[in-house]
Structure 1
Amino acid sequence: MGVGRVMSDAKPYAAMVLLQVGFAGMYIIAVASLKRGMSHYVLVVYRNLVATVVMAPFAILLERGVRPKMTLTIFVKIMGLAILEPVLDQNLYYTGAKLTSAGFASALINILPAVTFLMAVLLRMEKLKLRSLHSQAKIVGTVCTVAGAVLMILYHGPVVQFPWSRGNGHHHGADAAGAAASSSSWLYGTVMVIASCVCWSGFFILQSNILQSYPAELSLTALICVLGSAMSGAVAFVAERRDMSAWIIGFDTRLFTAVYSGIVCSGVAYYVQGIVTRARGPVFVTAFQPLCMIITAVMGSTILKEQITLGSVIGAVIIVVGLYALIWGKGGDHVDCGKQLAGAAAASEKALPLTTTSLPLQTYGNGNHLIAGGALAVADVEIPAVKKDSY
Structure 2
Amino acid sequence: MGNLSEVLYKIKPYFLMVFLQFGSAGNYIISMVTLNHGMNRYVLIVYRNAIAALVLAPFALLLERKIRPKMTFPVFLQIMALGCLEPILDQGFSYLGMQYTSASYASAIMNAVPSVTFVIAVIFRLERIRIKEIRSLAKVIGTLVTFGGALLMALYKGPLIHLISSSKSSHHENSAHNSDKHWVAGTLLILVGCVSWSAFYILQSVTLKKYPAEISLSSLICLAGTVQSLAVALVVAHHPSAWAVGWDTRLLAPVYTGIIASGITYYVQGLVMKTRGPVFVTAFNPLCMIIVAALGSIILAEKLYLGSIIGGIIIAIGLYSVVWGKSKDYSSQVPTSMTQKELPITAIDGTNKTVISRPSTNSELSSYMCDGNPNCSIIGSSRQCAH
Asked if these proteins are the same fold (TM beyond 0.5), I'd say: yes
**Deviation per residue, 1:106-138 (Å, 9 max, x gap):** 222222111100111122222111111111112
- Structure 2 CA distance for aligned equivalents of residues 225 and 321 of structure 1: 34
Report matched runs for 1:359-370 at 5 Å.
none
- Structure 1 CA distance for aligned equivalents of residues 319 and 15 of structure 2: 21
1:289 and 1:191, CA in 2 relative to 1: closer, same or farther beyond 3 A? same
1:114 match = 115
1:16 and 1:122, CA in 2 relative to 1: closer, same or farther beyond 3 A? closer
1:146 and 1:11, CA in 2 relative to 1: closer, same or farther beyond 3 A? closer
- Structure 1 CA distance for aligned equivalents of residues 100 and 68 of structure 2: 42
1:127 match = 128
2:250 match = 254
Instruction: Specify which of 183, 186, 191 is matched with residue 189 of structure 1.
Output: 186
1:223 and 1:200, CA in 2 relative to 1: closer, same or farther beyond 3 A? same
- Higher-Rg member (1/2): 1
In the TM superposition, what is the alpha-carbon distance from 1:336 to its structure 2 partner? 4.1
1:268 match = 264
**Contact persistence 2:290–2:312 (CA under 8 A):** no
1:70 and 1:272, CA in 2 relative to 1: closer, same or farther beyond 3 A? closer
**Deviation per residue, 1:179-226 (Å, 9 max, x gap):** 32x1x4122222222211111111111111122221111111111111
2:173 match = 174
**Contact persistence 1:33–1:254 (CA under 8 A):** yes
1:386 match = none
Instruction: Note the residue ranges of structure 2 that are not aligned, 5 or more in a row.
Output: 339-356, 362-387
In the TM superposition, what is the alpha-carbon distance from 1:14 to its structure 2 partner? 5.9
1:282 and 1:120, CA in 2 relative to 1: closer, same or farther beyond 3 A? closer
**Contact persistence 1:96–1:192 (CA under 8 A):** yes
**Contact persistence 1:114–1:141 (CA under 8 A):** no
Report matched runs for 1:310-325 at 5 Å.
310-325=306-321
Most deviating of 302-311 and 280-289: 280-289
Report matched runs for 1:2-151 at 5 Å.
16-151=17-152
Instruction: Specify which of 318, 323, 332 is matched with residue 328 of structure 2.
Output: 332
In the TM superposition, what is the alpha-carbon distance from 1:287 to its structure 2 partner? 5.6
**Contact persistence 2:104–2:292 (CA under 8 A):** yes
- Structure 1 CA distance for aligned equivalents of residues 147 and 278 of structure 2: 22
In the TM superposition, what is the alpha-carbon distance from 1:40 to its structure 2 partner? 0.9
- Structure 1 CA distance for aligned equivalents of residues 326 and 45 of structure 2: 32
In the TM superposition, what is the alpha-carbon distance from 1:7 to its structure 2 partner? 11
The TM-score with structure 2 as length reference comes to 0.77
Instruction: Note the residue ranges of structure 1 that are not aligned, 5 or more in a row.
Output: 350-391
- Structure 2 CA distance for aligned equivalents of residues 249 and 132 of structure 1: 55
- Structure 2 CA distance for aligned equivalents of residues 8 and 136 of structure 1: 28
**Aligned pair 1:214/2:215, yes or no?**
no
**Deviation per residue, 1:64-95 (Å, 9 max, x gap):** 22222212211111111111011111111111
**Deviation per residue, 1:277-333 (Å, 9 max, x gap):** 679887776564333222211111011111123333333333332232222222222
**Aligned pair 1:233/2:226, yes or no?**
no
Query: Alignment RMSD, CA only?
Result: 3.3
SS of structure 2 residue aligned to 1:249: coil
- Structure 2 CA distance for aligned equivalents of residues 117 and 304 of structure 1: 32
1:68 and 1:18, CA in 2 relative to 1: closer, same or farther beyond 3 A? closer
**Contact persistence 2:205–2:270 (CA under 8 A):** no
**Contact persistence 1:153–1:187 (CA under 8 A):** no
The TM-score with structure 1 as length reference comes to 0.77
- Structure 2 CA distance for aligned equivalents of residues 223 and 25 of structure 1: 24
Amino acid at match of 2:99: K
- Structure 2 CA distance for aligned equivalents of residues 79 and 194 of structure 1: 22
**Contact persistence 2:108–2:154 (CA under 8 A):** no
**Contact persistence 1:114–1:326 (CA under 8 A):** no
In the TM superposition, what is the alpha-carbon distance from 1:251 to its structure 2 partner? 2.0
In the TM superposition, what is the alpha-carbon distance from 1:245 to its structure 2 partner? 2.2
**Contact persistence 1:110–1:323 (CA under 8 A):** no
- Structure 2 CA distance for aligned equivalents of residues 341 and 270 of structure 1: 23
SS of structure 2 residue aligned to 1:212: helix
Amino acid at match of 2:28: Y
- Structure 2 CA distance for aligned equivalents of residues 334 and 253 of structure 1: 41
**Contact persistence 1:301–1:308 (CA under 8 A):** yes
Amino acid at match of 1:256: L
Most deviating of 122-131 and 33-42: 122-131
Report matched runs for 1:147-162 at 5 Å.
147-162=148-163
**Contact persistence 2:111–2:147 (CA under 8 A):** no
1:298 and 1:199, CA in 2 relative to 1: closer, same or farther beyond 3 A? same
1:290 and 1:195, CA in 2 relative to 1: closer, same or farther beyond 3 A? same
Identity %: 49
In the TM superposition, what is the alpha-carbon distance from 1:33 to its structure 2 partner? 0.7
In the TM superposition, what is the alpha-carbon distance from 1:337 to its structure 2 partner? 4.9
